[in-house]
Each structure stands twice: as C-alpha cells, then as structure tokens.
C-alpha cells in the first residue's frame, strides 16, 4: 500500500476535524497570525510583579525563594531582619486557562464542534498573548478529572498545550477502566484560584452549562468562584455554543441524548409549538449565563460553531479598546 501524502487535496478541502493534530495547529496558527496579529498589542497594563527596575519597597527575606543579590541591606541593618527589595512589574503576563473538555463540549453540527472551537480560542489567546517573559498555564476539565499544565513560556510550550487539548480524553475513551469522579466547573475554578498566586489573566473557555440551576433566580454553582477570581485577576469568559442548542430544526422524530448523564429522550420536531418552546427556553438559558458572568465581573466573549470565530474575536477586542479608552483619563498613558 502506498504512503499517504500528508498534504490535503486541493479538490477536497477538509474541515478542521479531518486534519491531523499538527495540521490543525498549523492552520490555526496561520489564521491567527494573518487575521488577528497585532490586535492585542498595547492593550493591557502590566499585571504581574516581575523583574523590573523601579523600586517598590521592601519585604522580609524568604529563604529558598528570594535571591541574595536582591537583599536590601539598609533596611536589614535598621531592622536586624533580612529584607529584599521589591520592584515594579514590567510587562510580563501570566495567563491561566481553564478549558472545559467535558462531554457537553463534544457536541457540534458545524465545521467545528464546541471542543474544537475551544482549542481555536485557546490558540488565539496563546499566539496573541505570547511575548518575552509571558507565561501560559492551563487546567483542562475532562470527563475523568482535572489535568494541570504548569505555566511556562515559549512557543514549544504553547504547541504542547494545544496538542494536549486536542488529545484530551473524550467520554467513553476509558470505558470500563474505572473513571475518576467528575470534577465540576466550580471546583475547577477554585483550583485555578489556588494555583494563580499572582495577578494576571484568567481565561475560562466553556459552555457554562455545568451547575446552571433550573431556576434563573438562583446563582450558578460556578458564579461565586468566578467572582472570587475576578477580584484579583482580569477574567475573560469565552462562551462556546452550537446553533442546534439554540433551536430545533423540523426533521421529524429524533433522539436527544444528554452528554453528561447519558439520558435519552425521543422528540417529535414536527411540532411547531415544541420548537418555539425549545427556542424560548434556550434563549432564557443563554441570558441566564450572560447575567451570571456579568455579576461575577468577567468579560464575556461569545463564540458559535457556525460563525467566523475570528470576526467575533476582532469585534470583542475593538469593544474592549473603546471601553479602555473611555476609562483612562485624557493625557494618561499606562497601556503596556
């Protein structure tokens, strides 16, 4: 049997899900660098206390953590307690990602499923936020537990993270192997808060369906831990949806499956009133998510599998630029 060429045919343009992981990453990188590169440059202040040059006081020396060359000898002499110099942050940024790879994210009826779109969002953030000293870490919420990727810098680390996301286990991959008890989105957010010690950027990519109560008057289970993250970090919530989650087509009798519980239900989609009720309930559910994110203090970016996600990201960045310009008094700089 002849060797298959790794280059896709020009006559049959494959979708992203048809490509190998490396081909997907190359296509994502080309899309981001050609269409989005430069959008985020100069749009943030330095958030992290990193290597800098401006003095910012002193604190007590911590053995094993602090460098001796940063000792503040004058303060040490006055207090008889070892102190080190603190400096103002430069432009280093640590970004922590929480990527939802639970069963509900495996659904999709367009070119990308929701999980593929989540990887595209992560790739965009990684390529655009990359810079000297910047670090990227992740928590991946899988059906079999929470997987942590330590925060590191560099292009090699970013590509390793993206490959890990593409290869993250799906529901049923370990059937009969004794799966780890599922971790909810609220628990995953609490874990991010535990590992994100210093101020930075936290990006949560999810459909935010986990822990969403039936009563819209009640808060989502993940709302409180997300609000706690927003107090210390800049938080971006990337909501991923599919058009079939928002409305039912008239295709006769179908079987709906809850990806989280496995529950089956047969539905006659020829009933117009049923389709209308479904659309109204789906709209109310997405409004519920939007209001919860707003109360938690997170910036909200909505992406859909049937839309050009690069256009949605461009619009979001431009909207954030306008808000930032309105918030900064005239004559003051500070964008890093």
pLDDT given for residue 20 in this prediction: 62
Give the tens place of pLDDT for each residue, 38-89. 554 444 444 334 444 445 577 888 887 777 778 888 888 888 888 888 765 5
Domain count for the chain, please give it: 2
pLDDT given for residue 225 in this prediction: 96
334 located within any domain? no
Q: Predicted confidence band at 275 (pLDDT cuts at 50, 70, 90)?
A: very high
Least confident of 161-175, 255-269, 302-316, 317-331: 317-331
Residue 205 scores a pLDDT above 90: yes
38 located within any domain? no
Q: Are residues 278 and 315 in the same domain?
A: yes
Q: Are residues 237 and 300 in the same domain?
A: yes
Helix ranges (H only) for the chain are 21-35, 73-79, 114-129, 155-166, 185-195, 223-232, 272-295, 309-327
Distance CA 155, CA 26 (A): 13
11 located within any domain? no
For the chain, what is the total number of helices (H) and then of strands (E)? 8, 10
pLDDT given for residue 180 in this prediction: 47
Dihedrals phi, psi of 290, to nearest 5 degrees: -60, -45
Q: Are residues 68 and 202 in the same domain?
A: no
Q: Are residues 201 and 310 in the same domain?
A: yes
- Rounded to the nearest 10 degrees, how much is the dihedral formed by the CA atoms of 153, 314, 162, 240? 130
In DSSP terms, 136 is beta-bridged to: 95, 152
Q: Are residues 113 and 75 in the same domain?
A: no
Which residue bears the tokens 């040490």? 76
284 located within any domain? yes
Q: Are residues 116 and 226 in the same domain?
A: yes
This prediction's pTM:
0.73
Q: Are residues 243 and 172 in the same domain?
A: yes
CATH classification at residue 134: 3.40.50.410
Q: Are 57 and 86 in contact (CB under 8 A)?
A: yes
Q: Are 158 and 136 in contact (CB under 8 A)?
A: yes
Q: Are 237 and 226 in contact (CB under 8 A)?
A: yes
Q: Are residues 141 and 229 in the same domain?
A: yes
- Rounded to the nearest 10 degrees, how much is the dihedral formed by the CA atoms of 165, 167, 170, 173? -160
Q: What is the mean pLDDT of the chain?
A: 79
281 located within any domain? yes
Between 43 and 277, where is the model more confident?
277
Question: Per-residue DSSP letters for 162-174?
Answer: HHHHHT---TTTT
Residue 8 scores a pLDDT above 70: no
Q: Predicted confidence band at 273 (pLDDT cuts at 50, 70, 90)?
A: very high
pLDDT given for residue 1 in this prediction: 40
Q: Are residues 97 and 80 in the same domain?
A: no
Between 279 and 43, where is the model more confident?
279
Q: Are residues 136 and 80 in the same domain?
A: no
Region of 299 please: left (phi>0), alpha (psi -120 to 50) or beta: beta
Between 122 and 23, where is the model more confident?
122
Structural domain for 59, as ranges? 55-87
Residue 296 scores a pLDDT above 90: yes
Over residues 15-25, mean pLDDT: 63
Three-class SS of residue 314?
A: helix
CB atoms within 10 A of CB 243: 14
Give the tens place of pLDDT for each residue, 220-254. 999 999 999 999 999 999 999 999 899 888 888 88
| CA atoms within 13 Å, Cβ hemisphere of 72 | 19
pLDDT given for residue 282 in this prediction: 93
Q: Are residues 76 and 206 in the same domain?
A: no
Per the document, the length of the chain is: 336
pLDDT given for residue 122 in this prediction: 92
pLDDT given for residue 61 in this prediction: 84
pLDDT given for residue 182 in this prediction: 67
Helix (H) or strand (E) segment spanning residue 239: strand 234-241
Between 330 and 276, where is the model more confident?
276
Over residues 111-123, mean pLDDT: 89
Give the tens place of pLDDT for each residue, 143-187. 888 999 999 988 889 888 888 888 877 766 654 444 445 689 999
Q: Are 118 and 205 in contact (CB under 8 A)?
A: yes
CB atoms within 10 A of CB 41: 11
Distance CA 72, CA 91 (A): 24
Residue 90 scores a pLDDT above 60: no
């Amino acid at each position: 049997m002849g060797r298959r060429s790794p280059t896709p045919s020009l006559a049959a343009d494959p979708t992203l899900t048809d490509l190998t992981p490396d081909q997907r990453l190359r296509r994502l990188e080309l899309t981001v660098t050609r269409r989005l590169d430069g959008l985020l440059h100069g749009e943030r202040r330095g958030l992290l206390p990193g290597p800098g040059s401006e003095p910012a006081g002193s604190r007590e020396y911590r053995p094993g953590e602090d460098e001796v060359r940063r000792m503040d000898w004058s303060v040490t002499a006055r207090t008889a307690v070892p102190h080190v110099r603190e400096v103002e942050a430069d432009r280093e940024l640590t970004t922590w990602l929480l990527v939802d790879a639970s069963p509900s994210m495996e659904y999709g009826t367009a070119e990308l499923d929701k999980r593929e779109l989540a990887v595209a969002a992560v790739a965009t953030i990684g390529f655009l936020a990359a810079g000297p000293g910047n670090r990227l870490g992740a928590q991946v919420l899988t059906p079999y537990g929470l997987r942590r990727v330590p925060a590191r810098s560099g292009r090699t680390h970013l590509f390793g993270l993206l490959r890990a996301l593409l290869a993250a286990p799906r529901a049923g991959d370990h059937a009969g192997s004794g799966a780890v008890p599922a971790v909810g989105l609220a628990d995953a957010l609490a874990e991010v808060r535990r590992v994100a010690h210093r101020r930075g950027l936290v990006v949560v990519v999810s459909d935010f369906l986990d822990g969403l109560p039936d009563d819209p008057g009640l808060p989502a289970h993940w709302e409180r831990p997300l609000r706690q993250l927003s107090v210390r970090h800049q938080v971006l919530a990337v909501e991923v949806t599919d058009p079939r989650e928002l409305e039912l087509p008239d295709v006769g009798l179908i079987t709906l499956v809850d990806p989280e519980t496995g529950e089956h239900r047969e539905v006659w989609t020829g009933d117009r009133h049923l389709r209308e009720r479904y659309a109204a309930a789906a709209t109310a559910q997405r409004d519920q998510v939007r209001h919860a994110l707003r109360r938690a203090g997170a910036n909200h970016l909505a992406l859909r599998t049937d839309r050009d996600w690069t256009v949605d990201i461009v619009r979001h960045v431009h909207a954030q630029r306008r808000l930032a310009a309105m918030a900064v008094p005239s004559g003051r700089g500070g964008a890093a």
